[in-house]
């Protein structure tokens, strides 16, 4: 008798509110409070004959160590159940403990007893209240009057992007500034995103708390995906002894690396 075989065709599941580009899988506070929905795209070998089914099981693991898993959803799907995607609920109770979790699913096909595991999706659960942005937005000292960084910027865009943090009264020596940067395909910082959210950290010195400071974002891989009519968003949070003390508004910069008449953008393609 043939032994069941493991396949690797199951695609990664998606979770409402969680960016597909975020490897940490950070769940927004709104979803943590109200619950969210997991989504699984219709699999390629969905049952095509009466009586044949695929059994879907979704597993949740938290904490990661010890390695124990809980089944949070199980159902069988027959030919009559065919649709573009299949959903299941993730409740606030399941996400009540801060830390890291893992979620995955397994398909078992009755026609051949083969099983098809999905990639594991990491999730980060943090119920820390979101700060209201009250600090001034970061600015970009090398952008032009129209808010663009381009091939003629004073500091070459193919080297780095400089982000200016203006002094704030809450700044203190030894505070930590955590700058978030993300690139978008639009000119106004709206999806679709071209990069995940990247973090850059800096300990603020005494003089920087008074005068402000500049943080630098290297071109590769953080800026290079943005080529023409794209944009980047920068926002920072200040922490003191690990406790958030203030958050800035979002700073926007437009990015254009096209040189008229040239086959390649300055800095090359992504």
3-state SS of 205-268?
CHHHHHHCEEEEEECCCCCCCCCCCEEEEEEEEEEECCEEEEEECCEEEEEECCCCCCCCCCCC
Whether pTM > 0.85 for this model: the answer is no
Instruction: Give the domain CATH number at 34.
Output: 2.60.40.730
Position 4 confidence tier, pLDDT thresholds 50, 70, 90? very low
Q: What is the pLDDT of residues 235-244, one digit of tens each?
A: 999 998 888 8
Query: Is there a contact between 197 and 183 (Cβ–Cβ < 8 Å)?
Result: no
112 and 23 within one domain: yes
Query: Cα dihedral angle (166, 250, 220, 124), rounded to 10 degrees?
Result: 120
Mean pLDDT across the chain, nearest whole number? 92
- Cβ-proximal residues to 3 (8 Å cutoff; 6+ apart), any chain: none
Rounded to whole angstroms, the Cα distance separating 145 from 139 reads 12
Residue 252: inside a domain, yes or no? yes
Cα of 71 vs its chain's centroid, Å: 25
Position 7 confidence tier, pLDDT thresholds 50, 70, 90? low
Instruction: Give the domain CATH number at 235.
Output: 2.60.40
Handedness of CA 85, 91, 92, 93 (dihedral sign): negative
Residue 134: inside a domain, yes or no? no
Among residues 77, 78, 81, the alpha carbon closest in space to that of 49 is found at 78
Output the six-digit token pair for 10.
């199951």
227 and 154 within one domain: yes
Is the pLDDT at 270 greater than 70? The verdict is no
165 and 79 within one domain: no
Domain boundary residue among 68, 91, 125?
A: 125
Position 2 confidence tier, pLDDT thresholds 50, 70, 90? very low
Residue with structure tokens 């070459």?
156
156 and 110 within one domain: no
SS3 60: strand
Which residue range forms the structural domain that includes residue 87?
Answer: 14-125
Q: What is the pLDDT of residues 112-125, one digit of tens each?
A: 878 899 999 999 99
- Cβ-proximal residues to 191 (8 Å cutoff; 6+ apart), any chain: 184, 185
89 and 152 within one domain: no
Q: What is the pLDDT of residues 75-86, one digit of tens each?
A: 999 999 999 999
């Amino acid at each position: 008798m043939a032994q069941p075989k493991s396949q690797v065709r199951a695609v990664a599941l998606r979770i409402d509110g969680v960016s597909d580009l975020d490897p940490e899988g950070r769940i927004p506070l709104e979803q943590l409070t109200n619950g969210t929905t997991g989504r699984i795209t219709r699999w390629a070998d969905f049952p095509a004959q009466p009586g044949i089914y695929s059994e879907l099981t979704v597993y949740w693991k938290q904490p990661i160590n010890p390695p124990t898993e809980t089944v949070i959803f199980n159902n069988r799907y027959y030919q009559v159940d065919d649709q573009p995607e299949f959903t299941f609920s993730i409740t606030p109770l399941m996400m009540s403990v801060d830390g890291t979790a893992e979620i995955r699913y397994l398909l078992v096909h009755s026609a051949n007893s083969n099983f098809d595991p999905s990639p594991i999706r990491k999730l980060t659960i943090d119920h820390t209240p979101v700060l209201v942005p009250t600090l001034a937005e970061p600015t970009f000292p090398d952008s032009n009057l129209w808010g663009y960084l381009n091939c003629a910027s004073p500091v070459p865009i193919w080297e780095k992007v400089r982000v200016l943090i203006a002094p704030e009264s809450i700044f203190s020596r030894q505070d930590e500034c955590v700058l978030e940067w993300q690139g978008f395909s639009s000119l106004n910082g709206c999806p679709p995103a071209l990069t995940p959210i990247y973090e850059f950290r800096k300990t603020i010195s005494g003089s920087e708390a008074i005068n402000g400071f500049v943080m630098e974002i290297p071109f590769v891989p953080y800026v290079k995906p943005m080529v023409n009519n794209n944009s980047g968003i920068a926002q920072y949070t200040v922490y003191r002894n690990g406790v958030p003390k203030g958050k800035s508004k979002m700073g926007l910069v437009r990015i254009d690396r096209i040189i008229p008449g040239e086959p390649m953008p300055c800095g090359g393609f992504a």
